[in-house]
Chains A and B, each alone.
Chain A
């Protein structure tokens, strides 16, 4: 079974500070992709960053970076220089090549950036 676990239901961070959101997953597959999606209060899900499991180098996207630990099945998201617009629900997700376009999502972490 494919599962994704986000153990932090809520988090807060001061503006301009750094915050790390945790995610662990479980799969027996070897080829898969990992994602972090952001869902602001307007509800539109937006892709923040993705990581191919076969790549050892951690993905980065401007202020967003991941710490991918394949052996530990861990995929955390670091947000640097937090901004008020980062306030949102963050979902960790993964997809395996064998299950096509089916994404498995975690339950989300609600992040609040405090001015």
Chain B
């Protein structure tokens, strides 16, 4: 079974631009969660999507948004990029059958650099 895939793996953007990251979960998984990883803040939860609906949300500004498609693939969008948005963005997939599916599988991440 293929693992969680994220595209692109690396991205360089300029302040003020917007960016879209993609995550394809493991086949059969319906839940996708997104995390931002930075050296200073560690891993912070952005949001979770399940069956095309946002089911849970962390404490990030509205510039961070996401969506999920009917095939469970998810995209994350960051508008009006700031230097502080430079980070590794990880997504994790799980079956989502339970409200809390502790079997979460992480993708390799997208390294976003904002200049």
Give A residues with C-beta under 8 Å from B. Answer: 33, 35, 37, 42-47, 50, 91, 93, 95-97, 99-108
A106 close to B56 (CB less than 8 A): no
Interface core residue of A33, A43, A91, A95 (most chain B CB under 10 Å)? A43
A45 close to B45 (CB less than 8 A): no
Judge if B88 is at the interface, Cβ distance under 8 Å: yes
Judge if B81 is at the interface, Cβ distance under 8 Å: no
Residues on A with beta carbons closer than 8 Å to the beta carbon of B44? 105
Determine the main DSSP class of B at the interface with A.
strand
B109 close to A95 (CB less than 8 A): no
Judge if B16 is at the interface, Cβ distance under 8 Å: no
Give B residues with C-beta under 8 Å from A. Answer: 31, 33, 35, 42-45, 48, 50, 55-56, 58, 88, 90, 92, 94, 96, 99-109
A63 to B102, CA, bound (A): 22
B88 close to A43 (CB less than 8 A): yes
On whether A105 and B43 interact (CB within 8 A), knowing A42-B108, A100-B56, the answer reads yes
B100 close to A33 (CB less than 8 A): yes
* Distance of B94 from chain A, by nearest CB (Å): 6
A42 to B106, CA, bound (A): 12
**Which listed residue, B48, B96, B103, touches A102 by the CB 8 Å rule?**
B48
**Which listed residue, A46, A91, A102, A107, touches B56 by the CB 8 Å rule?**
A102
Residues on B with beta carbons closer than 8 Å to the beta carbon of A46? 106
Q: Which residue of A lies closest to B33 (CB)?
A: A101
A42 to B96, CA, bound (A): 27
B100 close to A95 (CB less than 8 A): yes
A62 to B82, CA, bound (A): 44
